[in-house]
Amino acid sequence: MKTVYGPVPSWRLGRSLGIDLISSEKVCSFDCIYCQLGEKYEKTVKRRKFVETLRIKEDLLETLDLAEDVEIITFSGMGEPTLASNLKEVISIVRGITDLPLAILTNSSLLHRREVQNTLKTIERVITKLDAPDEKLFQRINRPHPSISFSQTLKGIKKFRSGYNGELELQIMFTDENKEHARELAGLAAEIKPERVDINTPLRPSPIKPLNKSEIKEIKEIFEEKSLNTKTVYESNKIKVETVDHEETARRRPG
Ligand code: SF4
């Protein structure tokens, strides 16, 4: 299985080439109710190497050769990319191959760790996840590993924000579970001060039904009352992109 896929037409990132540092069955520190990666998974907070760095290098060189108009390279894929212990090493390899900016989609659960913070600080765009305003909802929506708490995750995002000079985005997946909590989430977002809040709802195949356009519009207005810059999944322009390998791309979590 290839570790590099796309380009993916991402509503957040543009034409994004994905690097999957997990690249097998889903491995994540969460098991979100809306996850599109299937029911078979390993839940862990232990960092380890899932794929050899050299393999990623070879896949990237090959895909970059074939792909056109790539705007950004994104660490994403079959789970939580900060679980990969060779993330730092892979970043340095990618920097040696291309000048394209880098992004990462993280569920924020390991952001409280110093080594994860230091690695993510070297990436131009970090997209963090926050779906719940309190522990109860966090447990219900994200179903985290038992060692992860809401307060630790929120503290990790805030700590990272304070020392990060790149573009920090906060992505929130809205469903029926948290739509009544938009005001509390907007309050937390205002404390975090991201460059942008990505207001999402599961439009891709998911066990959970998405919110409709008018529900998302109302949520957007709540965030705008706090002077937050927002983008919703419904506002995105459909970008047409030819992927190098359709099957590989379809399996992964896109940007
Ligand atoms: S954080 Fe992402 S990959 Fe992990 S369970 Fe949630 S949606 Fe799936």
**Which atom of ligand 1 approaches the CA of 143 most closely?**
5
CATH number for the domain harbouring residue 141 = 3.20.20.70
Give the rounded percent of residues in the chain with a pLDDT score beyond 70: 93
Range of the domain at 29: 4-237
pLDDT score for 255: 44
Q: Is 103 exposed, middle or buried (0-12, 13-18, 19+ CB in 10 A)?
A: buried
Give the rounded percent of residues in the chain with a pLDDT score beyond 90: 81
Tell me whether residue 220 is in a domain: yes
Q: Which of 35, 45, 104, 145 to mutate to test the pocket of ligand 1 (most atoms within 8 A of CB)?
A: 35
Length of the chain: 255
pLDDT at 19 over 90: yes
Run of H or E including 198:
strand 196-200
CA proximity to 20, closest of 69, 59, 68: 59
DSSP string covering 8-76, please? EEETTTEEEEEEESS-SSEEES---TT-SS-S-EEE----B--S-HHHHHHHHHHHHHH--S--EEEEE
Does residue 7 have a cis peptide bond before it, meaning omega lies within 30 degrees of 0?
yes
pLDDT score for 102: 98
**Which atom of ligand 1 approaches the CA of 107 most closely?**
1
Count of domains in the chain? 1
**Contact (Cβ atoms closer than 8 angstroms) between residue 34 and residue 210:** no
Asked if residue 232 has its Cβ within 6 Å of ligand 1, the reply is no
The closest residue, in CA terms, to atom 5 on ligand 1 is 31
**Contact (Cβ atoms closer than 8 angstroms) between residue 123 and residue 103:** yes
Asked if residue 79 has its Cβ within 6 Å of ligand 1, the reply is yes
Asked if residue 28 has its Cβ within 6 Å of ligand 1, the reply is yes
**Which atom of ligand 1 approaches the CA of 78 most closely?**
3
Tell me whether residue 244 is in a domain: no
pLDDT score for 245: 56
Asked if residue 37 has its Cβ within 6 Å of ligand 1, the reply is yes
pLDDT tens-place string over residues 194-235: 999 999 999 988 889 999 999 999 999 999 999 999 999 998
pLDDT tens-place string over residues 51-101: 999 999 999 999 998 888 899 999 998 999 999 999 999 999 999 999 999
**Which atom of ligand 1 approaches the CA of 29 most closely?**
4
Tell me whether residue 242 is in a domain: no
Tell me whether residue 255 is in a domain: no
Tell me whether residue 182 is in a domain: yes
Tell me whether residue 208 is in a domain: yes
pLDDT at 107 over 70: yes
**pTM value?**
0.93
pLDDT score for 251: 57
What is the distance in A from the centroid of ligand 1 to the CA of 148? Answer: 14
What is the distance in A from the centroid of ligand 1 to the CA of 33? Answer: 9
Tell me whether residue 246 is in a domain: no
Query: Coil, strand, or helix at residue 189?
Result: helix
Tell me whether residue 159 is in a domain: yes
Asked if residue 21 has its Cβ within 6 Å of ligand 1, the reply is no
How far apart, in whole angstroms, are the C-alpha atoms of residue 88 and residue 67?
24
